[in-house]
Chain A
């Protein structure tokens, strides 16, 4: 630490002294026999065999130490075709086919989301990609689901509601589950036939099942839906908001498919590098409150379906090398930000920043990753309100906009709604923190001239009724800070899929009714008879 009288010596060097370069003449750092082919981390050279073992071990250890996936559980693998998720699917495939002692024991399925309409691809290009995707899915052998992003237009609002959270299973429950599973296997094996091979028949064999042919693949999505989706994405002003919207819609769609087919876990292929970039990007986007959920190993915000990230310790370099050396098939699909310049979006900027820093300081990514490991998920107001706190409409994290805290509420709102310039004076009067949609409605009860004559018609300002009918205000109220900032880049919220608009309407109505009831309770008891 700094001391009085300390003199700064020579200026700090601009670049770190170059680390000694690993060279081909060295041997593999692990087995010390074979010639190395790849350099991992800062200067560890691995040979082919040791690299494979290291890579696979990391994957298994990540699943093993977290103990979240129970034997026999149905797990949906989110496969985008890209290298990280392809590698993940391949690891699962190999893990399931190993000898019984170390075999992975869950039941996987694969989902591929066709996002061509959001990226502006033509139907021919999308068909070409699907033609490349299908053989790989068939070769993998798990039950697969190919869904087009257009299907968000047929989702129901229930996808935005969290199911009641199951209590986190303690350590003993996991061990007990594994023990009973193994005993079951043993019994079945001893009952008839030679050993474990017979017992395996009782376990649903993914390979023996015919891969499902979901109806969505039999015909391309309706042209009207494709049109609606591309209209939605074209109306978004910035690439940052487009990427965020795409991620949100994709997450809802995967959640829906998982719930519909009974999957209790979803595995995504986010790698270490991607998560480090995501962590910094989310800070810039105003999602700092949710970093633990967005970048942690498990994400339980939906309640019944838990999102798991088993690849979070693998860097993109390791993934690319593994895929190349061991021929893991993947499909390249252009995304919304393909060939975008560096400053096109916050995501791109952060990616360039981190990767450039990584070349000079090779521990950048791992440092950010280690920091993300330390993030703890604390419920906002203590464990008691964990389940019932209001959730953001889009990202389904607990709402972090506090009406009493003018920094967040005021700063986001004023630019979009002229009427809310009145807000600060009434905000300071409320004093006690309340659920934000109700608080915002309550502060609107006219105490002074809110809508001045001759002024612009304030959107849903004073009357609760006209407020309910205004979809823009309905939706924005239900969002967390980060999502509100994103939605500002949509000139109109009309093109959003119906389920979002409907759920926003429903929640606002519910909040309004609650507010009305509260008003009734405050009034004289004589009036209650007439009001209820």
Chain B
């Protein structure tokens, strides 16, 4: 049983275009059965934050290739990627590298 979590979700590199141009979102994840991990967070984002074109952000149950995920300014590969369990006051940043230049 997971307590409600307060998490900051940020988008950069052009990913914010899919979220009405808003870069920072302070979200409160509701209480639920399973603990909150990145996998659940993505589902939640798709349902509640994503405004358009889900296929440009999410592919399958993970992010689209080319989108980096940083948790508390660290690579998510070091923290277990989708299986990382979110804690209160965590900061998750999604950077799209596809908009190059």
> How many angstroms between the C-alpha atoms of A332 and B23 in the bound complex?
12
Q: Kindly state whether residue A269 has any CB partner on chain B within 8 Å.
A: yes
**Would you call B65 and A355 a contact (CB within 8 A)?**
yes
**Would you call A84 and B101 a contact (CB within 8 A)?**
yes
Contact with B along A1-35 (1 / 0, CB 8 A): 00000000000000000000111100000000000
> How many angstroms between the C-alpha atoms of A320 and B75 in the bound complex?
11
Stretch at the interface among A141-149, A333-341, A377-385, A503-511: A333-341
> How many angstroms between the C-alpha atoms of A342 and B66 in the bound complex?
13
List chain A residues, Cβ under 8 A from B73. 37, 324-325
Q: Could you tell me the distance in whole angstroms from the C-beta of B82 to the nearest C-beta in chain A?
A: 12
Chain B residue nearest to A355 in the complex (CB): B65
**Would you call A317 and B97 a contact (CB within 8 A)?**
yes
**Would you call A358 and B65 a contact (CB within 8 A)?**
yes
**Would you call A338 and B99 a contact (CB within 8 A)?**
yes
Stretch at the interface among B9-17, B30-38, B40-48: B9-17
CB within 8 Å for A22 and B14 given contacts A321-B68, A324-B95, A332-B99 = no
**Would you call A321 and B13 a contact (CB within 8 A)?**
no
List chain B residues, Cβ under 8 A from A81. 101
Most chain B CB inside 10 Å of its own CB: which residue of A23, A39, A45, A83: A83
Q: Could you tell me the distance in whole angstroms from the C-beta of B77 to the nearest C-beta in chain A?
A: 4
**Would you call A317 and B101 a contact (CB within 8 A)?**
no
Contact with A along B60-101 (1 / 0, CB 8 A): 000001101010011101111000000000000101011111
**Would you call A21 and B93 a contact (CB within 8 A)?**
no
**Would you call A83 and B100 a contact (CB within 8 A)?**
yes
Q: Could you tell me the distance in whole angstroms from the C-beta of B8 to the nearest C-beta in chain A?
A: 14
**Would you call A332 and B65 a contact (CB within 8 A)?**
no
Most chain B CB inside 10 Å of its own CB: which residue of A81, A84, A320: A320
**Would you call A320 and B68 a contact (CB within 8 A)?**
yes
List chain B residues, Cβ under 8 A from A356. 65
Contact of A339 among B12, B56, B77, B79 (CB under 8 A): B56
> How many angstroms between the C-alpha atoms of A22 and B74 in the bound complex?
12
List chain B residues, Cβ under 8 A from A358. 65
Chain A residue nearest to B14 in the complex (CB): A332
Q: Please provide the chain A residues from 423 to 451 with a CB less than 8 Å away from any CB of chain B in the complex.
A: none
Q: Could you tell me the distance in whole angstroms from the C-beta of B85 to the nearest C-beta in chain A?
A: 13
**Would you call B78 and A316 a contact (CB within 8 A)?**
no
**Would you call A320 and B95 a contact (CB within 8 A)?**
yes
Q: Could you tell me the distance in whole angstroms from the C-beta of B40 to the nearest C-beta in chain A?
A: 20
Q: Could you tell me the distance in whole angstroms from the C-beta of A118 to the nearest C-beta in chain B?
A: 14
Q: Could you tell me the distance in whole angstroms from the C-beta of B36 to the nearest C-beta in chain A?
A: 19
Q: Could you tell me the distance in whole angstroms from the C-beta of B14 to the nearest C-beta in chain A?
A: 5
CB within 8 Å for A324 and B98 given contacts A38-B75, A339-B17 = no
Contact of A24 among B13, B18, B78, B97 (CB under 8 A): B78
> How many angstroms between the C-alpha atoms of A83 and B97 in the bound complex?
8
CB within 8 Å for A39 and B99 given contacts A325-B73, A332-B13 = no
Q: Kindly state whether residue A295 has any CB partner on chain B within 8 Å.
A: no
Q: Kindly state whether residue A413 has any CB partner on chain B within 8 Å.
A: no
**Would you call B17 and A338 a contact (CB within 8 A)?**
yes
Contact of B65 among A85, A333, A359 (CB under 8 A): A359
Most chain A CB inside 10 Å of its own CB: which residue of B18, B68, B80: B68
List chain A residues, Cβ under 8 A from B13. 83, 320, 332
Q: Could you tell me the distance in whole angstroms from the C-beta of B16 to the nearest C-beta in chain A?
A: 8
CB within 8 Å for A273 and B17 given contacts A21-B77, A324-B12, A355-B66 = no
List chain B residues, Cβ under 8 A from A351. 66, 98
> How many angstroms between the C-alpha atoms of A335 and B96 in the bound complex?
14
Chain B residue nearest to A357 in the complex (CB): B65
Contact of A37 among B53, B75, B80 (CB under 8 A): B75
CB within 8 Å for A39 and B101 given contacts A320-B68, A332-B13, A332-B14 = no
List chain B residues, Cβ under 8 A from A85. 101
**Would you call A37 and B100 a contact (CB within 8 A)?**
no
Chain B residue nearest to A48 in the complex (CB): B73
Q: Kindly state whether residue A312 has any CB partner on chain B within 8 Å.
A: no
Q: Please provide the chain A residues from 274 to 290 with a CB less than 8 Å away from any CB of chain B in the complex.
A: 274
**Would you call B66 and A83 a contact (CB within 8 A)?**
no
**Would you call B100 and A271 a contact (CB within 8 A)?**
yes
List chain B residues, Cβ under 8 A from A38. 74-75, 78
> How many angstroms between the C-alpha atoms of A23 and B79 in the bound complex?
6
**Would you call A39 and B77 a contact (CB within 8 A)?**
yes
List chain A residues, Cβ under 8 A from B98. 351, 355
List chain B residues, Cβ under 8 A from A352. 65
**Would you call B99 and A82 a contact (CB within 8 A)?**
yes
List chain A residues, Cβ under 8 A from B75. 36-39, 45, 321
Chain B residue nearest to A351 in the complex (CB): B98
A to B CB contacts below 8 Å, 27 in the list: A21-B77, A23-B79, A36-B74, A36-B78, A45-B75, A45-B78, A80-B101, A81-B101, A82-B99, A82-B100, A83-B13, A84-B100, A85-B101, A273-B100, A321-B68, A321-B70, A324-B73, A324-B93, A324-B95, A325-B73, A332-B14, A332-B99, A338-B14, A338-B17, A351-B98, A352-B65, A355-B65
Q: Which A residues form the contact surface with B (CB < 8 A)?
A: 21-24, 36-39, 45, 80-86, 269, 271, 273-274, 316-317, 319-321, 324-325, 332-335, 338-339, 341-342, 351-352, 355-356, 358-359
Contacts A45-B78, A333-B101 supplied; 13 other A-B pairs, CB < 8 Å: A21-B80, A22-B77, A83-B97, A86-B101, A269-B101, A273-B100, A321-B68, A321-B70, A324-B12, A332-B14, A332-B99, A352-B65, A359-B65
Q: Which B residues form the contact surface with A (CB < 8 A)?
A: 12-14, 16-18, 53, 55-56, 65-66, 68, 70, 73-75, 77-80, 93, 95, 97-101
